[in-house]
Structure 1
Amino acid sequence: MKHHAVYIAGKMTGLPDKGRGLFTKAEEVMSAFGWRILNPAMLPDGLAAEKYMPICMAMIDACDVLMLLPGWTNSPGAKLEAQYATYQGIPVHEVESLVPFRASPMIRRSTEAETEDE
């Protein structure tokens, strides 16, 4: 059985703790499917902003699918990641399309809080 590698894309810049809470919760939900998660929110702090994108593109190259978190349309970086994945032929989906993701009260509360900050 193939375990898909999934890259999580979403808004980070300008959010408290770079939105890591939502990224972590999404990783937990998707890991339950047996997927291998590539989570850019786990990258260390301290690099210049422009240094992160090449790292993220390499992570996208290693994935089988890219999942977009709520609020991704408000992130130039997440939009670029989605566009790059599409160009590379990697399927792109909104994480809200996963029924277990939408059904999780923990995720619902977190996405509502993240959306209020936008």
Structure 2
Amino acid sequence: MRIYLSGPMSGLPDFNYPAFHTTAALLRHVGYCVMNPAETGVRPDWAYADYLRHDLQILLAQAEGVATLPGWRTSRGARLEVTVAEMLGLPIAPVITWLRRAGRPDAQTKGC
């Protein structure tokens, strides 16, 4: 299953990339294909809107579910991502829920 990782970045140390990378590694370890927006990295010529456009395109085109990081509700971008996912009918759950689901026999965790 292709999981999009959503959470706060703006205003956090290192844009919260360490949490995104650690979480993506955990989800991949249990078999999910993870779309991690932190892997875009910092692009000096990009504004906030550029990141948002890029990440929403990935969410729209590839995601089959959304895993939320702690604090996602305080992030404008993450709230928008979750709203879009809701409108698309995608399952949305905290990361811990996705990790627990991976252990179930009916979980679709075949990777990318």
TM-score by length of 1: 0.77
- Other-structure match for 2:18: 21
Unaligned runs of 5+ in 1: 101-118
Distance apart, 1:88 and its partner CA: 1.1
5 Å-filtered alignment, 1:6-45, equals 6-45=3-42
State how far apart, in whole Å, the 2-side matches of 1:75 and 1:28 are: 22
After TM superposition, where is structure 1 displaced by more than 6 Å over at least 4 residues in a row? none
Distance apart, 1:89 and its partner CA: 1.4
TM-score by length of 2: 0.81
Give CA deviations for 1:62-105 in whole Å, capped at 9, x if unaligned.
Answer: 111110000111111100100001111111111132349xxxxx
Distance apart, 1:44 and its partner CA: 2.9
* Greater RCO (CA < 8 Å, at least 6 residues apart): 2
Q: Percent identity?
A: 29
State how far apart, in whole Å, the 1-side matches of 2:14 and 2:73 are: 19
Number of residue pairs aligned between Structure 1 and Structure 2? 97
Kindly report the root-mean-square deviation, in angstroms, between the aligned alpha carbons of the 2 structures: 1.4
- Other-structure match for 1:63: 63
- Other-structure match for 2:110: none
